[in-house]
Amino acid sequence: MKFSNICIFIVSMMLLAANASAQTRFVGADNGFIQYEGRINFTNKAAPMFCYPGTTIRACFTGTSVSMKMKPGSGYYMVSVDNKDYDKINFDGQDSVICIAKGLAPGRHTIVAMLANEEFEGHAEFYGFFIDENAELVDMGKDERPLIEFIGDSMTCGYGSEASDGTIHYDPSNSNFFYTYAAIAARELNARLMVVARSGMGVYRNYNGKYDGSIMPQWYGYTLIYDDSQRWNPEGNMPDVLCINLGTNDFSTTGGDFVIYRDSYERFVRYLRSLYPKTKIVMLSGCMLSGEPLKVQNAALDEVQRRLKAEGDDNIFRFDFTPQDGSLGYGADWHPSKAQHRKMADELVPYLRTIADWGE
């Protein structure tokens, strides 16, 4: 962060324990004043689990310092205090407590932490905050902002978005959802955010033509991907706008089948419509396909829209991103760069404003 009263550093559990009784108090994840955004499994309210990038934790606290406690290995986060510049931190395999800020002016402050990368192995678990001994969390009030949801693949996840060129391979350290078109759009629209995205996912098959059954329509109905222990309950999480960006992997490396893709996509959209009767659903084509595969994908999406509109669904929309051409660089493995994501957001946000009437 670009201001002097913020420090990001890792605190060992031993040192924290030695000073906690005199200097700090622990506020658990089950505190009612903590706000959560995204798909989260609250089976254990003291250790809520999540896996999708963009999952966000917010709290308002008094005092002069705040630290986060999470399960070791819970990944990278973009964090901010009092809406200042965001910094990236990492809960690696050794560290479970990170000091986010100290030396703040006395009074109320807000902390925001967003999961920046995909959780490929296991799930992230949040345990709570350490704040000053005499401090407390403060009720932030109900979040009345509209909700926008993004369903997608690596493009939506921010795969390799911080890499310097396309020859670099994926690593959690060079991937950051915060800089994606989806995250930027949510911020610029002042909307709450829901993300259901995983690299390699398709509608009827995954990257490189894999028919392994683990496609997005199979897992959408669960809170966490690859975990069928809890069905997702959409009640209270009805998106105002839902954007689907799936198809790049269906058409990757070995082409794709127009009819199978179209029919699989249509079944998925009909399922989503059964969950969200009034949601504006936007079917996107991403920026990574070009040529004949892109023509086939767009034709399939156009036909799905025509079919649904013919049945009276006036809340089904289409939007196509400009294909990337390398002029804005590439992220890891030729994925969109930060600059390309910025361009995508600049294209999408004005369109969403016209259909959702969210204004400037």
Domains of the chain, each with CATH number or no CATH = 9-138 (2.60.120.260), 147-356 (3.40.50.1110)
Task: Convert the pLDDT of each residue in 324-345 to its tens digit.
Answer: 999 999 999 999 999 999 999 9
pLDDT at 135: 97
349 has pLDDT over 50: yes
Pair 181, 344: CB distance under 8 Å? yes
The C-alpha atoms of residue 271 and residue 74 are separated, in whole angstroms, by: 32
Q: Residue 167 corresponds to which amino acid?
A: T
pLDDT at 16: 41
- State what percent of residues in the chain have pLDDT above 70: 92
12 has pLDDT over 90: no
Lowest mean pLDDT among 3-17, 94-108, 297-311: 3-17
Task: Convert the pLDDT of each residue in 74-101 to its tens digit.
Answer: 999 999 999 999 999 999 888 799 999 9
**Residue 50 carries which DSSP code?**
E
The arithmetic mean of pLDDT across residues 156-172, rounded, is 96
Q: Residue 303 corresponds to which amino acid?
A: E
What SS3 class is residue 333? helix
pLDDT at 18: 38
pLDDT at 254: 76
Could you tell me the pTM of the whole model? Answer: 0.92
358 has pLDDT over 80: no
Please state, in angstroms and as integers, the Cα–Cα distance from residue 275 to each residue in 242, 279, 290, 310, 343, following that order.
12, 9, 32, 20, 31
Q: Residue 84 corresponds to which amino acid?
A: K
The token duo for 122 is: 């296991």
Pairing of strands 124-132, 66-70: antiparallel
Produce one character per residue of 171-206: b if its CB has 16 or more CB atoms within 10 Å, e if not: eeebbbbbbbbbbbbbebbebbbbbbbbbbbbbbbb
Backbone angles phi, psi at 27, to 5 degrees: -115, 115
Lowest mean pLDDT among 52-66, 145-159, 246-260: 246-260
278 has pLDDT over 60: yes
Task: Convert the pLDDT of each residue in 176-204 to its tens digit.
Answer: 999 999 999 999 999 999 999 999 999 99
- State what percent of residues in the chain have pLDDT above 90: 85
pLDDT at 236: 87
Lowest mean pLDDT among 93-102, 157-166, 262-271: 93-102
DSSP string, 215-281: -HHHHTTEEETTEEEEE---TT---SEEEEE--TTTTTTT---HHHHHHHHHHHHHHHHHH-TT-EE
The C-alpha atoms of residue 229 and residue 272 are separated, in whole angstroms, by: 21
Pair 51, 225: CB distance under 8 Å? yes
Return the beta strands (E) in 38-91 as ranges: 49-50, 56-62, 66-70, 75-81, 87-91
Choose the most confident range, by mean pLDDT, from 61-75, 118-132, 252-266.
61-75
211 has pLDDT over 80: no
**Average pLDDT of every residue of the chain:** 92
Task: Convert the pLDDT of each residue in 13-67 to its tens digit.
Answer: 433 433 443 489 999 999 999 999 999 999 999 999 999 999 999 999 999 999 9
The arithmetic mean of pLDDT across residues 285-309, rounded, is 97
306 has pLDDT over 70: yes
CB neighbourhood size of 321 (10 A): 21
**Residue 174 carries which DSSP code?**
G
The token duo for 74 is: 């819970």
The C-alpha atoms of residue 193 and residue 130 are separated, in whole angstroms, by: 26
Task: Convert the pLDDT of each residue in 226-250 to its tens digit.
Answer: 999 999 999 889 999 999 999 999 9
The arithmetic mean of pLDDT across residues 108-112, rounded, is 98
Pair 177, 195: CB distance under 8 Å? yes
The arithmetic mean of pLDDT across residues 169-173, rounded, is 94
